[in-house]
Amino acid sequence: MKPSVGVIVAAAGSGSRLGRGSKALVRLHGRTTLSRVVELFLGMNEIDRIVVVGPPSRLETAEQEVASLHPTKPVTVRAGGESRQASVRAGIAALGECDYVLVHDAARPLASPSLVRRVLAAAMESDAAFPAIAPRDAVKRIEGNLLVESLDRSRFVLAQTPQGF
C-alpha cells in the first residue's frame, strides 16, 4: 500500500530581509513563489495533500493564489504563527494523519520533483532527511563584534528544504 504523504508549505514569513513583504507572494516571472511551490507538489503523484501556512495578514491572497491553480488534490490554507516553528506546528495540526510529512519553504520556488523524491526516499529510509549544500564562504564564530575562531567549513552544511520526516 502506498504511504500517505502530506506537505506543509511554510509561507507565513514577513520577508523583512527581502524588504518586499511576504516572500511567498513575491512574483517571479509573473507568478508568485507560493503558486510555483504549490504547483510543484500538485504535480507529484507521491503527494496526497498540502497545507499552506500563510501570512495571517494576507491569508485571503494566499487562498486566491491556491484556488487559481485549480487543485486536483486537497489543499488547505491556514494562518501561520509568530515563528516558523509555530507555523509548522499549525500546519501539522491541519494536515491530519500522514505516514510522512514534507516541510518546504515557499521562498524556495525552484526545487525540483527529483529533489523532493530524493528527500522523501531518504526520510522513508532513515526517519528524517533534508537537502544540504556545502558552504563556499569562510565560516567564522564571533562573540559580539569580535572574531573568536575560524571554523573548518568542511564540517558544516547549509540546510535547505524540503525537510522530510
Taken as a whole, the chain contains a residue count of 165
Decide if pLDDT at 13 tops 70.
no
Between CA 107 and CA 13 the distance in angstroms is 9
**pLDDT per position as a tens digit, 60-100:** 988 999 999 999 999 999 999 888 999 999 999 999 999 99
pLDDT score for 17: 45
- Output DSSP code: residue 94: H
Cell numbers of 11, please? Answer: 509561507
Q: What is the CATH number of domain 5-132+160-164?
A: 3.90.550.10
Mean pLDDT of 144-161: 96
Distance of alpha carbon 112 from alpha carbon 159, whole angstroms: 16
Q: What is the pTM of this model?
A: 0.88
Higher pLDDT among residues 17 and 96, named by residue: 96
Which residues, 6+ apart, have CB-to-CB distance to 45 below 8 Å? none
> What's the rounded mean pLDDT across residues 101-130?
97
Whether the predicted pLDDT of 19 surpasses 70 = no
Q: What mean pLDDT do residues 108-131 have?
A: 97
C-alpha cell at 161: 528544504
